[in-house]
Amino acid sequence: MSQPPPMSAEAEAVIYELEDAILGRFPNASFEVRVSLDGRVYLTVYSDADDDFAIQDLVAEKTVDAMLSGAAKIHVMPRDSSVLGQS
């Protein structure tokens, strides 16, 4: 079975920036980061946001900038924290 490539330093830096921005608004958020076989990065965000767009609005500009600069293709997927049993 193939393994995904390691995350680049540039992608890691973008992920940290995204997490910081999200935690600034949703301090109880938690994250899961996965890298696909083609090198895309998937950031699942578990939070108590009332609307998924609240998360997307925080990260949209940075994820587009990262893609256009070639730093990383990062997909942010908001999820309700209740799926983790958090309140």
Q: What is the CATH number of the domain that holds 40?
A: 3.30.300
The confidence score (pLDDT) of residue 66 equals: 94
* Total tally of structural domains belonging to the chain: 1
Print pLDDT tens along the chain (87 aa).
789 899 999 999 999 999 999 999 999 999 999 999 999 999 999 999 999 899 999 999 999 999 999 889 999 999 998 777 644
**Under DSSP, is residue 6 helix (H, G, I), strand (E, B) or coil?**
coil
Phi–psi pair at 26, nearest 5 degrees:
-125, 80
Q: Where are the alpha helices (DSSP H) in 4-51?
A: 9-25
Distance of CA 31 to the CA centre of its chain: 7
3 assigned to some structural domain: no
- Burial (0-12, 13-18, 19+ Cβ within 10 Å), 6: exposed
Boundaries of domain holding 58:
9-80
In a domain, 75, yes or no: yes
Say if 16 falls within a structural domain: yes
Phi-psi region of 20 (alpha: psi -120 to 50; beta: other; left: phi over 0): alpha
